[in-house]
Structure 1
Amino acid sequence: MTAQPVEPVDPDTFRSLLRRQAASVAVVTAAGSPPVGFTATSFTSVSLRPPLVSFCLARSSSSWPTVAEAEHVAVHLLGADQRGVARTFATSGIDRFAAHSGWRYGPYEVPLLNGPVTWLLCRVTQRVTAGDHAIVLAEPLVGQHGAGDPLIYHMGRYAALQPATDEP
């Protein structure tokens, strides 16, 4: 039997298919003049030994030039009550830190947001070009967790977890 060639999915189909994947919502920040921050749903744990995390960022993003040079970043996993924070840091063409007053400077002058479920200050270890994006690998140096449930992004909107029901 001869295998038939299969064409890759087009970008619109790809987007439509992956909208069904629920993802945690993170805001990534980096020191700069001015500091930068952006909302990401691509954050994930990569390795336990050594601890590594990753997130992806479009290389056309206004935040990319700073992240491309940053030695340190902070990743904030947002809580279900932080939809406004997610929207602010997802909005292009604004000073996101002026629009959101709940932050302070942390180690290495990296902005730290108030009130996330978890935050990690990380050292960037590698940047990998992947299509029109970059995959940023980072080593957590310090972190802290707060309280509350995570903010989730699914089907193009923000959502909160609902308790699972056991099936009989």
Structure 2
Amino acid sequence: MDSKDLRQVFGRFATGITVITTRTPEGEQYGVTINSFTSVSLEPPLVSFALQRSSPMGEHIRRSGGYAVNILSADQQELSNHFASDKHRQPFMDWPLLNGPASQPLLSGCLAVLECRLWQEYDGGDHVLLLAEVLDCQAFEGQPLLYYRSRYATL
């Protein structure tokens, strides 16, 4: 099986878009765009996402002990592009931030935000699966930003 063919098949599955953010003990803030976010369990409240093994974001999350999931709204495509680029992983100056109860940076204008504590990591081939316990969450009104066939979409 060719990885290009597999990528095409995976692209047929529409997903929501999230930006995972974290704040290190030194106060540095980082973010990365992810479309592999999923809910795992209600009791205990668990979520997960897959991160490229080579991404420095994994180490930032480990140092922080947790992360925030920012579920993007339909008008946040520019924000998604910003955090999808390696060179923009740290700069937050263009994006308004809120401080969540668990001290993770939350992006304003999202459909929903969750603050999480890192629970476990699992090998996922060229990715690592990061499982976390949800400590706090908030939902807001709006339409989601979606990703389908390598393009942004909306409802």
- TM-score normalised by the chain length of structure 2: 0.91
Query: Superposed, which structure 2 residues align to 1:14-53 within 5 Å?
Result: 14-32=6-24, 33=26, 34-53=28-47
Structure whose alpha-carbon radius of gyration is higher? 1
Provide structure 2 residue ranges, at least 5 long, that are not aligned to the other structure: none
Q: Match for residue 136 of structure 2?
A: 142
| 8 A Cα contact 2:29 2:92, kept in partner | no
Report what 2:2 is aligned to.
10
The one-letter code sitting in structure 1 at the alignment partner of 2:11 is R
TM-score scaled by length of structure 1: 0.84
Task: Give 1:166's aligned residue.
Answer: none
Deviations 1:57-80 (A, max 9, x none): 001113222123331210011001
| Residues 10-36 of structure 1, C-alpha deviations (whole Å, 9 max, x = no match) | 321111111111001011111125211
- Provide Cα deviations, 1:120-165, integer angstroms capped at 9, x if missing partner: 001110011210111011111111111101110011111101xxxx
Tell me which amino acid in the other structure corresponds to 2:7: R
Residues 145 and 17 of structure 1: CA distance in aligned 2, closer, same or farther (over 3 Å): same
- Aligned partner letter, 2:32: F
Q: Which amino acid aligns with 1:29?
A: T
2:112 to 95, 109, 118: 118
1:88 maps to which residue?
A: 82
Structure 1 range deviating more: 9-18 or 91-100: 91-100
Q: What one-letter code is carried by the residue in structure 1 that aligns with 2:18?
A: A
Following superposition, the deviation at residue 96 of structure 1 comes to 4.4
Which stretch of structure 1 is more off in the superposition, 28-37 or 116-125?
28-37
Closer, same or farther in 2 for the Cα pair 1:90/1:99, shift >3 Å?
farther
Matched AA of 1:19: G
- Identify unmatched segments of 5+ residues in structure 1: 1-8, 162-168
Distance change in 2, residues 1:20/1:90 (3 Å):
same
Q: What's 2:123 paired with? A: 129
Does the Cα contact within 8 Å between 1:127 and 1:136 map onto a contact in 2?
Answer: yes
SS at match of 2:143: coil
Letter in 1 for 2:53: R
Matched, 1:73 2:67: yes
* In 2: Cα distance, 1:31 partner to 1:108 partner: 10
